[in-house]
């Protein structure tokens, strides 16, 4: 990569690794095993809860859309 194009202060983000159940800073584990990136450690720590909430909201929206005639 060209040095001029390289970010001197990259923020690698925070991830939740679903295989190890650990929070990682940067791209440590395999992409297929990671949720994120998240802006901070606390957000990554609640990744499974966030995913569950989003899934429930999407399921509810689907049910509401299906029931409209």
Closest CA relative to residue 34, chosen from 11, 25, 42: 25
CB 12 within 8 A of CB 25: yes
Q: How many domains does the chain have?
A: 1
1 within a domain of the structure (yes/no): no
In contact, 38 and 44? CB cutoff 8 Å:
yes
Give residue 7's pLDDT.
56
Q: What is the pLDDT along the chain (69 residues), one digit of tens a residue?
A: 444 456 565 678 999 999 999 999 988 999 999 999 999 999 999 999 999 999 999 999 999 998 875
Q: Is the residue at 22 inside a domain?
A: yes
Q: Which domain holds residue 36?
A: 14-67
Determine the pLDDT at residue 66: 83
pLDDT of 39: 94
Contact residues for 27 (Cβ-Cβ < 8 A; gap 6+): 12, 15, 34
Local structure of 23: helix, strand or coil? strand
pLDDT at residue 6, as a whole number: 66
Q: Is residue 42 part of a domain?
A: yes
């Amino acid at each position: 990569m060209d040095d001029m194009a390289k970010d001197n202060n990259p923020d690698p983000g925070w991830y939740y690794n679903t295989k190890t159940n650990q929070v990682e800073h940067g791209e440590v584990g395999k992409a297929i095993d990671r949720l994120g990136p998240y802006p901070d450690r606390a957000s990554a720590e609640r990744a499974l809860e966030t995913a569950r909430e989003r899934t429930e909201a999407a399921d509810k929206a689907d049910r509401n859309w299906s029931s409209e005639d």
